[in-house]
């Protein structure tokens, strides 16, 4: 079987990095995206190479449709057809709705939700033409249950799954699955930057398993959804949150 190619948006940190490593270990050719002008790109690629991973990283503004179209065309010309797309890129601009301005709303919606359209649009039809493809949208527990101070983030992450269900229906008979995963609190650098007293008193007590998730655990779920064995799973939203929210 020819080597399949996976694109992971926002793959240069935390959860995205774990997904890139997992897919590479499964035998995928892995490409990640980073924001234009990212000064850590070459350093990250060099560090990954030391660990034995030959990744490629393309600068893409996932919030901009034209940027995505141009970059995807370049990826396909240089690396071949894209078989797996993991829409992982995301940002937060947390504040209460009363204090939230339009800029904070727009930034999160463009980066977290518009990006799913922007990146999926240029790749999914070619997946369907080849009769095989996987699109995995990385949402959040807060898209399922809401979160104080995150009306923008919760709305964008919930919107991802609405996209998933409709696209899954349209491409189900063409060998392309579209799924959402909704991680809870995972021990990434972003979460670990939360003060320890807040983690210990406010966040971990909400998690029945009693700890943060590991990036590798989420990457394992993504890997399953990318596999041939997951061909009957489509339109799903799979929670991976230690029991924090059950639906």
**153 has catalytic annotation:** yes
Question: Buried b / exposed e across 159-179, counting CB within 10 Å, b at 16+?
Answer: bbbebbeebbeebeebebbbb
Give just the sign of the alpha carbon dihedral 181, 182, 184, 188. Answer: positive
Return the structure tokens found at 126: 């070619």
Rg (CA), the chain: 17
Q: Which residue out of 58, 153, 171, 185 is catalytically annotated?
A: 153
Give just the sign of the alpha carbon dihedral 80, 82, 84, 89. Answer: positive
Residue where the block lists tokens 């799913």: 116
- Residue 60 parent element (H or E): none
Nearest to 186 by CA among 178, 197, 176, 194: 194
Residues tagged active-site:
153
């Amino acid at each position: 079987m020819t080597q399949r190619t996976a694109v992971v948006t926002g793959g240069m940190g935390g959860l995205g990095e774990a997904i890139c490593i997992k897919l590479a270990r499964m035998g995928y050719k892995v490409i990640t995206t980073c924001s234009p002008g990212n000064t850590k790109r070459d350093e990250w690629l060099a560090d990954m190479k030391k660990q034995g991973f030959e990744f490629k990283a393309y600068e893409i503004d996932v919030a901009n449709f034209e940027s995505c179209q141009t970059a995807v065309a370049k990826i396909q010309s240089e690396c071949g057809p894209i078989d797996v797309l993991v829409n992982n890129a995301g940002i937060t601009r947390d504040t209460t709705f009363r204090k939230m301005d339009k800029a904070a709303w727009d930034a999160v919606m463009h980066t977290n939700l518009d990006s799913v359209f922007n990146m999926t649009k240029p790749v999914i039809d070619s997946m369907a033409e080849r009769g095989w493809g996987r699109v995995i949208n990385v949402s959040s527990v807060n898209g399922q249950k809401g979160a104080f101070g995150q009306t923008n983030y919760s709305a964008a992450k919930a919107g991802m799954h609405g996209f998933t269900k409709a696209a899954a229906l349209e491409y189900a008979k063409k060998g392309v699955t579209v799924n959402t995963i909704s991680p809870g609190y995972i021990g990434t650098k972003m979460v670990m930057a939360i003060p320890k007293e807040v983690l210990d008193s406010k966040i971990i007590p909400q998690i029945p398993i009693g700890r943060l998730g590991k990036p590798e655990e989420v990457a394992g779920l993504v890997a399953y959804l990318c596999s041939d064995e997951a061909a009957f799973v489509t339109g799903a939203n799979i929670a991976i949150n230690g029991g924090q929210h059950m639906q």
